[in-house]
Amino acid sequence: MTKLITLYYDEQDTPIGILTLLGDGEHVLRIDYGSIKDLEEKWQKWTKRYFGDVTFVHNPTVFIEPKNEISAYFSGDKKTFTFSYKLYGTDFQQQVWRALVDRIPFGEMKTYKDIAEIIGNPKAVRAVGGAVNKNPFSIIVPCHRVIGANGKMVGYNGGLDKKEYLLSFESNNLKLNI
């Protein structure tokens, strides 16, 4: 018989809509645009792959630090995130996501080709795009900072309006020393 695992969630209002955080009590596992009602089916499929059968329990106390950091980001007081999170994906996806976190500073942009070169696989531009599309950490893993080779904004799971907002917001807050 399979053991049912409990994962926790909470929602956070932001200037670009609701973010819903999913965690195991120790690490944040996902941050997605939308409410739990919007995400439950998507999360059931995702968690089945990595955890088996789960139940989602609303528990705001699990997310105090991450929500404080997200609020500080949107108030212009924080450029990087330090709360504990855990990436689940293929080795390639994780390599791409780490490159986004480690190699694209606040307020800067890189192309999909740049990321492919950073990870030492310059021909993997399309695969990088696929990994960016599967990013489980909206804003935290800064896929909004990845643009097309022509300098144009292309695809964003949250919608191009959110991507434009985030890039403009970061550009306007570059003077921060945090």
Task: Check 96, 141, 143, 146 and give the catalytic one.
Answer: 143
Q: Which amino acid appears at position 49 of this protein?
A: R
143 labelled catalytic: yes
DSSP at 167: H
Paired tokens of 126: 């399309």
Other C-beta atoms within 10 Å of 31: how many?
Answer: 23
Alpha helices in the chain (DSSP H): 36-50, 64-74, 91-103, 112-118, 125-133, 160-172
Rounded Cα distance between 93 and 136, Å, is 10
The distance between the two most distant Cα atoms of the chain, rounded to a whole number of Å, is: 55
Burial zone of 26 (CB within 10 Å; 0-12 exposed, 13-18 middle, 19+ buried)? exposed
Catalytic residues: 143
